[in-house]
């Protein structure tokens, strides 16, 4: 597996090819760097509008090794956020009422030894807490068996990846047996009220395409998910988030090894939507890495593209400096602006 810096260099090399303004022989698509595309939409430099969400990656350790994972997470990853860095996050949140959403990611965030304490502290502060749960962690061993009740107690919003509502496609992307385990975990969450109308316990699912193509419409796909999961498995959920696969980390490896990189990037560029670009999640989110460094988004974090600001670490969080910064962009950002757009909360336009 290539290092993160090697991946960034590969992405930059591919971006240099896109910088040549030319017409593709087959598609007629214009190749242009993302920053230039933003300029054509009067959006460059891209600036924040507010900082409402703190997305916190508490570590890259995970009980799964998914093929599409942009974090390159897995059981062998040792990067874990310390309690000290969590305290620094809490200090920032305690002083800022407008920063009211905390989106906790991993890896499997539950594998951080201080995960539960962190969630407890966040709920005491009155923050809306979102946890990106891979579902199978709930069944990994007895250590995690009471997590559904823990989530319910703290009114945590659970966002879970389920690449498809059929076993073959899910297992191909996430590993053998993952679909069956995910269904069992969803039933456990449903049993205590998650996803049920009127419960106030939000359970949202995430769809990622399984190959080098763009996702279909979120509304139609959500209906299909809802119908199949309800009829075949008696499972309920609130919303489906459709997310475009970003050309970084394992998915970038797949694109390069399969020879699909150029075609995939061309699809993203052709589908560029100015309305999606105007509403990308980095305009109201700050991403905190496991070591406390700040990024414009979770994807930039994986490419080690820190914020363009004198406020570069959570311990030196400065509202004014972060609001005045220019958001760091590169050609992978086409993934967030294609079609209806893509964010950690699904489509955006």
DSSP string for residues in 123-162: HHTT-EEEEEE-SGGGGS-GGGTTHHHHHHHTTPEEEEE-
Q: Beta partners for 160?
A: 133, 205
Q: Are 130 and 156 in contact, with CB atoms under 8 Å apart?
A: yes
The angle subtended at Cα 53 by Cα 314 and Cα 271, nearest 5°, is: 115
| Residue 303 covered by a domain | yes
| Residue 213 covered by a domain | yes
- C-alpha separations of 274 from 208, 259, 265, 349 in Å: 22, 28, 17, 9
| Residue 241 covered by a domain | yes
Which residue is listed with tokens 């933003």?
Answer: 38
| Residue 66 covered by a domain | yes
- Segment holding 169, helix H or strand E: helix 167-174
Dihedral, CA atoms, 187, 190, 191, 193, nearest 10 degrees?
170
pLDDT, residue 163, reads 87
Q: Are 340 and 347 in contact, with CB atoms under 8 Å apart?
A: yes
How far is it, in rounded angstroms, from Cα 303 to Cα 332? 10
E runs forming strands in the chain: 53-57, 101-105, 128-133, 157-161, 203-207, 240-242, 285-288, 294-295
| Residue 343 covered by a domain | no
pLDDT, residue 18, reads 37
Closest CA to 78 of 107, 114, 119, 116: 107
pLDDT, residue 245, reads 93
| Residue 70 covered by a domain | yes
Strands 157-161 and 285-288: unpaired
Q: Can you give the residue range of the structural domain that contains 41?
A: 4-337
What is the number of structural domains in the chain? 1
pLDDT, residue 64, reads 87
How far is it, in rounded angstroms, from Cα 331 to Cα 103? 25
pLDDT, residue 35, reads 96
How far is it, in rounded angstroms, from Cα 71 to Cα 74? 9
DSSP, residue by residue, 49-64: S---EEEEE-BSB-S-
| Residue 177 covered by a domain | yes
How far is it, in rounded angstroms, from Cα 56 to Cα 192? 26
Average pLDDT per consecutive 10 residues, the chain (349 residues; last block may be shorter) = 46 40 33 92 97 97 85 91 98 96 97 98 98 96 96 98 91 89 97 97 94 92 97 98 94 93 94 97 98 97 96 97 97 96 93
| Residue 342 covered by a domain | no
pLDDT, residue 68, reads 75
pLDDT, residue 51, reads 96
CATH classification at residue 206: 3.20.20.70
Sequence-distant (6+) residues with CB within 8 A of 125 are: 90, 93, 94
Q: How many CA atoms lie within 13 A of 306 on its CB side?
A: 12
Q: What pTM was computed for the model?
A: 0.90
């Amino acid at each position: 597996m290539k290092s993160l810096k090697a991946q960034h260099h590969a992405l930059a090399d591919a971006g240099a090819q896109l910088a040549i303004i030319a017409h593709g022989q087959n598609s007629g698509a214009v190749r242009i760097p993302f920053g230039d595309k933003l300029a054509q939409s009067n959006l460059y430099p891209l600036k924040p509008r507010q900082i409402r969400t703190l997305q916190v990656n508490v570590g890259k350790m995970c009980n799964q090794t998914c093929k599409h994972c942009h974090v390159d997470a897995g059981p062998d990853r040792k990067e874990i956020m310390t309690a000290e860095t969590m305290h620094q996050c809490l200090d920032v949140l305690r002083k800022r009422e407008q920063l009211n959403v905390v989106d906790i990611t991993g890896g499997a965030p539950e594998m951080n030894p201080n995960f539960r304490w962190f969630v407890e502290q966040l709920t005491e502060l009155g923050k809306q807490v979102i946890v990106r749960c891979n579902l199978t962690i709930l069944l990994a061993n007895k250590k995690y068996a009471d997590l559904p009740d823990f989530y319910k107690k703290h009114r945590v919003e659970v966002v879970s990846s389920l690449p498809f509502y059929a076993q073959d496609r899910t297992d191909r992307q996430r590993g053998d047996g993952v679909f069956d385990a995910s269904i069992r975990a969803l039933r456990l969450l449903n049993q205590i009220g998650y996803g049920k109308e009127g419960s106030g316990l939000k359970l949202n699912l995430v769809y990622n395409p399984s190959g080098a193509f763009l996702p279909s419409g979120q509304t139609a796909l959500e209906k299909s998910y809802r119908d199949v999961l309800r009829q075949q498995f008696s499972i309920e959920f609130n919303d489906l988030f459709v997310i475009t696969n970003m050309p970084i980390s394992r998915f970038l490896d797949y694109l390069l090894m399969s020879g699909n990189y150029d075609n995939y990037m061309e699809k993203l560029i052709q589908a560029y939507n100015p309305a999606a670009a105007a509403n990308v999640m980095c305009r109201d989110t700050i991403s905190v890495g496991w070591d406390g460094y700040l990024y414009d988004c979770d994807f930039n974090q994986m490419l080690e593209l820190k914020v363009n600001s004198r406020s570069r670490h959570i311990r030196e969080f400065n509202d004014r400096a972060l609001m005045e910064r220019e958001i760091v962009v590169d050609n992978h950002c086409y993934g967030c602006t294609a079609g209806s757009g893509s964010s950690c909360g699904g489509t955006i336009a």
